[in-house]
Structure 1
Amino acid sequence: MTTYLYDVARYLPEKRVPASYFAQFADNDKLAGNVMFAAPEFRHHAADDETSADMMVSAARVLTARHGEDYLDDVSVVLTHSQLPEVPVHGCGGELAHRLGLRPTTVLDVHNGGCAAVAHMLDLAGALLRGAGGGRALLALAQNSASQIFTQEQVRGSAQAPIPGDGAAVAIIGLDDVSASPILNVVCHSFGQFAGDMVAVAKPSRKYWEAGPGQLHIGFTEARIAKVLARGNRMVPEVAMEVADSVGIAPTEIDWLITNQPNRIFLRNWREALELPPQRHPDTFDECGNLFAVAIPLTLDTAVDDGRIVPGDTVMMSAFAHAGDFAGAAMIRWGGRR
């Protein structure tokens, strides 16, 4: 039973932050100059009181403005992914469903997909809908750590601080509209042996739930960066090639490649590995920075809006997560907004 993507929508916070904001705080971080941390020109920061659910609701309202207030009425599955869940233990799926007036049978907060969460969520939602024999799923993703983690006084001068941005995106999938965009295949792989290579640190050291003077951030080292670069360079093209092969399309024949967007070096290496020119690899990095899981649906929505992606085009979405503990890809044939 084929799963279809009906539409996607995006939201960016109003606050647009230039690279100069971080430049004024730059300290003697020994990782400055590393290719992983070449800063984008801009990124957006969520407002102080703006939550993951707030941003997801804003993105979902784009869909209802576009298609009508009843567009979400048939949603039976709600999947959410927040980069930084505000509430300990559980995520914001229940709040999102309530605020949108939904009565789903399944609400699931998907935390471990990382930057490849879209592939993970497409896979999960498709299985849930097929198991139920119908319905629609709302996939909602928010990246909310840029303004909360990377502007902290002890973190904002580091090389990693200017890279992330905040934003949200949503997508609707289902089984019943053959005029929508068929999901040709989804492939996901877990690499648990690498799960311990992405860590949160503070100085002095503490567990993240313990009180203390040190502000949490990502624990990058030269050795960890080398591992992440090697794995990411390999994983994203490999999983994209696996999906392309499964549907009988050569990678060079893909109309559009959309990936997660951690930095420019990955973007270049991935499209070169798949032998695709830059103009067929849309990115929003210089406007939005690293949006983590939000990057793929937001960039897809952007490229549809500006007319690059048109009905009939094949779109490969491929990503890896964290330090390489997860990778996923999905291919669609764009059918227009439905």
Structure 2
Amino acid sequence: MMPGAQIVNVVSFMPERVVDNTKLALDGEDDNELEKNAFFKGVKERRFASPEYQSSDLGSKALKLLLERTGTKPEALDLILCSCMFSDYFWPGIGPAIQNQVGASQATILNLDTSCSSYLSMLNTARAFIESGLYKTIAIVTVTNFVSRLPEFQKSKKSWVLGDGASATLLVDGKSSLVASYERSHGEHYGLFVFEPDMVDGRFLNYWERGCGPITVNFSPDMVTAIRSNAVELVPDAVSKCLFKAGLSTDDVSLLITHQPNTFLIKEWRDRIGIGEPRVHDTLEYYGNLFQSSIPVTLADAIEKNKVQSGDLLTFGTFSNGGDFVSSMVIRWT
């Protein structure tokens, strides 16, 4: 039998500190047009990780929980794939710290980043390694730990859809769970959505320059309009092409899980894809936008709530940044 990447389990580890959006007070007024935009609405509460947790702590907690639930010894791991926003240091990434903290002495690590699409990119990467025969047991870890580290940005309502959290997924050599995938880069949208230092004394300084401002996102109405236009087209198109590649229709899908950026995009994607309640699951309201942790945390939540059964066909869809990358995947839960 040819090697195949079988997903054994997916778990999440959420920081204990809850931020209740209904009790937050805004210092100053945001731009009225942006404040009313649905891009910044739909979240009742979220979790903050820092300073209680370093990013490596979050990843290690999630991975330890996964190993416990699956009865897997740390020494059995061959590879740990890791995606993180923000790492504990500018450089290096947190992969080696997680490997050491969980005692995965036989594992090598790979830090991977395609932003909000990173989880699906890592599933594809794990599949390639397992099918090649190079590795048999792979853990995928996502860590989102940044909005709690940006006190200046927290004063803006535009940050109130963002949360922190982590996930871990175990894949082994077995009956393949991955049915089809679709990934494309759209480099023409590079730089549309970025984290960068805020303005200081009327000018922008690069992050490597002395005296640069605090990290923020400098939203503008034109920027939001462009991101919305890209996202509403790219994700449904990717899901459609992925289902076609799998020889499936929307009627075959047991559960659709998309990225969780805001209520507007989630609804728009469902309407365009043609899958709605009860074949969807969200965590936006209580966890917020978790970037690369969004899909796996939502999947773990669906599993915990018994919305995923053996044999179910699950479909994922997400985009990255301002639309410079898009990804979709169909898996069969085994």
Change (3 A) 1:284 1:23: same
Counterpart check, 1:196 vs 2:191:
yes
User: Which of 31, 53, 56 is equivalent to 1:53?
Assistant: 56
CA contact (8 A) 2:56 2:88 kept: no
Partner of 1:92: 94
1:210 aligns with 2:209: yes
Which whole-Å deviations, capped at 9, do the CAs of 1:194-226 have from their partners, x for residues lacking one? Answer: 112122240222112334363221121111111
Match for 1:188: what amino acid?
E
Q: Which residue of 2 aligns with 1:62?
A: 65
SS at match of 1:193: helix
Q: Which residue of 2 aligns with 1:168?
A: 166
Offset at 1:106? 3.5
Further displaced range: 318-327 or 203-212 = 203-212
TM-score (norm 2): 0.93
Asked if residue 157 in structure 1 is aligned to residue 155 in structure 2, the reply is yes
Q: What SS does the corresponding residue of 1:172 show, helix, strand or coil?
A: strand
Please say which of residues 257-266 and 44-53 is displaced more in the overlay: 44-53
1:262 and 2:238 aligned: no
TM superposition shift of 1:49:
4.1
CA shift for structure 1 position 6: 1.1
Q: SS of the counterpart of 1:187?
A: strand
Please report how far the alpha carbon of residue 21 of structure 1 lies from its aligned counterpart in structure 2 after TM superposition.
4.2
Gaps of 5+ in 1: none
Give the AA of the match of 1:312: G
Corresponding residue of 2:15: 13
Identity score, percent:
24
Find out whether 1:241 has 2:240 as its counterpart: yes
TM-score (norm 1): 0.92
CA distance in 2 between counterparts of 1:202 and 1:53 reads: 27
Contact 1:90 1:109 in 2 (8 A): no
Q: Is the 8 A contact 2:270 2:276 kept in 1?
A: yes
Q: Contact 2:42–2:284 at 8 Å: present in 1 too?
A: no
1:19-168 equivalent positions in 2, closer than 5 A:
19-25=21-27, 27-30=29-32, 31-68=34-71, 70-104=72-106, 106-111=108-113, 113-149=114-150, 152=151, 154-168=152-166
Gap change, CA 1:117 and 1:221, over 3 Å in 2 = same
Change (3 A) 1:129 1:228: same
Q: 1:65: how far off?
A: 2.6
RMSD: 1.7
Runs (4+) of structure 1 exceeding 6 A deviation are: none
The alignment covers a number of residue pairs equal to: 327
Separation (CA, whole Å) in 1 of partners of 2:89 and 2:57: 14
Structure 1 contact 22–157 (Cα < 8 Å) conserved:
no
